[in-house]
Amino acid sequence: MNYRHGYHAGSFADVFKHAILVSLIQSLLKKKTAICYLDTHAGAGYYDLISEEAQKSKEFEAGITKVMGAEDPPSLIRDYLSCVQQINIRLAGSVVPSLRYYPGSPSIVRYFLRAQDRMTLTELHPQEYRILKKNFMRDSQTGVHLGDGYQGLKAFLPPKERRSLILIDPPYERPNEFIDIVVMLLAALKRFSSGVYAIWYPIKNRTTINLFYQDLKKAIQQSILIAELNIYSTNSSLLLDGCGMAIVNPPWQLDQQIFEYLPWLWNLLSVHQQGGYRVFSL
């Protein structure tokens, strides 16, 4: 396990993933009944952008820094930015909203949760887990667990609330991760068929992604929405051309909501207008 998210915090891929996460959580919070958020690969919770890791690649400069500096962002992006700014104010203890910290998925979701909601986080890396545990130490609505996120799907589903958003965001270090995800997802859906599952994935090679889509479509009965953001042209031979999110049981009109900001994000974050964006039902 070499992956540490601190090197990638606030990158274009984080911006894409977290904007969709905000759309999802806002959709689920439209109803008053409680929800449970499950984050299978939670990371550390917050990332200090002046840390050695973040400064090494400075990926945030091509992601959140650009979004914060852009004029007239779409409404959902404004909500996401407010969340990032409020978390910075709280952590830095200052009223001036500057960008020192980038919040990970647990902190972003926690910002939106109400008193009746709760969240369960799993993280396998002992060091990341220790930081995550410390970050949510005094939070009675959050449970933090050291262990395998896929086992967490078995342990924590179905949730007692019966309404749940599940983020599956692995580092894709394992060669069979795309195949494993489909198997794990299928097992999770057998335990809890009505959950909203969001799976993030890197786009490096189009053949791998097409196979992943085929496997998902074959294995899963529920509706699946795909959103992709590509900032380089296909198979550019760079490390990452883009990334995607597959959403099982997407909330009503999620596709339209994503269309309100994805073109704007692509225009801002793509490198020389390469790549593109897509939103479609599988």
Nearest residue (CB) to ligand SAM, 112 versus 276: 112
Q: Quick one: how far is CA 240 from the chain centroid? A: 16
Q: Does 3 interact with ligand SAM (rule: CB under 6 A)? A: yes
Task: Tell me the two tokens of residue 278.
Answer: 């897509």
Closest CA to 189 of 203, 210, 174, 168: 168
Residue nearer to ligand SAM on the CB measure, 48 or 148: 148
Stretch that binds ligand SAM, among 57-65, 117-125, 181-189, 214-222 (CB under 6 A): 117-125
List own/partner pairs for 138-141 with CB under 8 A and 24 or more apart.
Answer: 139/110, 141/110, 141/113, 141/115, 141/117
Q: How far apart are CA 260 and CA 254, in angstroms?
A: 10
Cβ of residue 42: shortest distance to ligand SAM, in angstroms? 6
Query: What gap in Å lies between CA 25 and CA 117, rounded to an integer?
Result: 11
Q: Which residues pair with 182 in a beta bridge?
A: none
Q: How many residues bind ligand SAM (CB under 6 A)?
A: 21
- Contact flag: residue 112 with ligand SAM (CB under 6 A): no
Sole binder of ligand SAM in the list 88, 105, 257, 270 (CB under 6 A): 105
Q: State yes or no: residue 143 binds ligand SAM (CB under 6 A).
A: no
Q: With DSSP H G I counted as helix, E B as strand and the rest as coil, what are the percentages for the chain, rounded to 5?
A: 45, 20, 35
Among 117, 169, 228, 241, binds ligand SAM (CB under 6 A): 169
Q: Which residue among the candidates 14, 39, 169, 241 is catalytic per the annotation?
A: 169
Check binding of 5 to ligand SAM (CB under 6 A): yes
- Enumerate binding residues for ligand SAM (CB under 6 A): 1, 3, 5, 17, 39-43, 104-105, 122-125, 128, 148-149, 169-171
